[in-house]
C-alpha cells in the first residue's frame, strides 16, 4: 500500500495528514477522529496539529492504526500542554472512554484515562484535557525520548474497543 501520509512543517505547527481508517469488513468506520491539536497550555500556541484524515491504515486487525508524529522539541519545555480531540460517530456509543498508555523503550511510564459517557449518533464532539510536565530534573532528555516514545490510545465503548491508535513520537 502506498504511503498516504504527508507532513507539513510550518513555523509553529507540525501537521500530519493520511487516509481515514476502515473497519474489518472494509466499510467506513462509524467512529472517526476528525482532528487533534496539541497546544502550550500557558500561551495557547499550537505546537502540533493532525487534520481530519490523519490516520494511516496499518494492516492491523480491526480499527487499529500506527502513526509517526514529529513534534517540536520545545513542547518538552512547556509547563503544561493541552490536547484537543474532535471526533464523530454515526452510531450511538453507550459508554465512551479513552485509555492512553505512554511507553518509553516499550516500558509503561504513564497511563491516563477519561470518561465521555453516552455519545449520541450522527454527532461531532470535542474533548480537551491538560497535562502538566514533570519537574525539569525528572524529565528524560529529548535524545532518549525521540523515536523511543510510543503513545498507545484505545477508544472504548464499555469493554469493546472502537479504535486503537499507536503514535511513535519524534522531536525536532
Most distant CA pair in the chain, distance: 49
Section 36-58 average pLDDT: 78
| Backbone dihedral region for residue 73 (phi beyond 0: left; psi -120 to 50: alpha; all else: beta) | alpha
Strand residues in the chain grouped as ranges (E): 6-9, 14-17, 31-40, 46-50, 64-71, 80-89, 93-104, 107-119, 123-132, 149-157, 160-171
* CATH placement of domain 6-171: 2.70.50.40
Query: Structural domain boundaries of the chain?
Result: 6-171
Question: Could you tell me what percent of the chain has a pLDDT over 70?
Answer: 75
Q: Is the pTM of this model over 0.85?
A: no
Tell me the pLDDT tens digit for each residue of 108-148: 999 989 898 999 999 999 888 888 888 878 888 899 999 99
Amino acid at each position: 500500500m502506498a504511503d498516504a501520509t504527508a507532513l507539513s512543517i510550518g513555523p509553529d505547527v507540525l501537521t500530519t495528514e493520511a487516509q481515514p481508517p476502515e473497519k474489518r469488513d472494509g466499510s467506513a468506520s462509524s467512529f472517526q477522529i476528525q482532528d487533534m491539536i496539541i497546544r502550550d497550555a500557558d500561551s495557547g500556541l499550537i505546537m502540533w496539529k493532525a487534520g481530519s484524515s490523519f490516520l494511516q491504515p496499518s494492516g492491523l486487525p480491526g480499527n487499529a492504526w500506527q502513526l509517526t508524529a514529529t513534534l517540536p522539541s520545545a513542547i518538552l519545555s512547556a509547563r503544561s500542554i493541552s490536547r484537543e480531540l474532535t471526533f464523530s460517530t454515526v452510531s450511538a456509543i453507550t459508554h465512551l472512554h479513552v485509555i492512553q498508555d505512554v511507553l518509553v523503550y516499550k516500558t509503561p511510564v504513564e497511563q491516563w484515562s477519561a470518561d465521555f459517557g453516552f455519545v449520541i449518533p450522527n454527532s461531532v464532539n470535542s474533548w480537551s484535557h491538560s497535562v502538566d510536565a514533570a519537574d525539569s530534573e525528572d524529565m528524560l532528555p529529548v535524545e532518549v525520548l525521540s523515536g523511543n516514545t510510543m503513545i498507545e490510545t484505545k477508544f472504548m465503548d464499555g469493554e469493546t474497543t472502537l479504535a486503537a491508535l499507536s503514535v511513535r513520537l519524534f522531536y525536532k
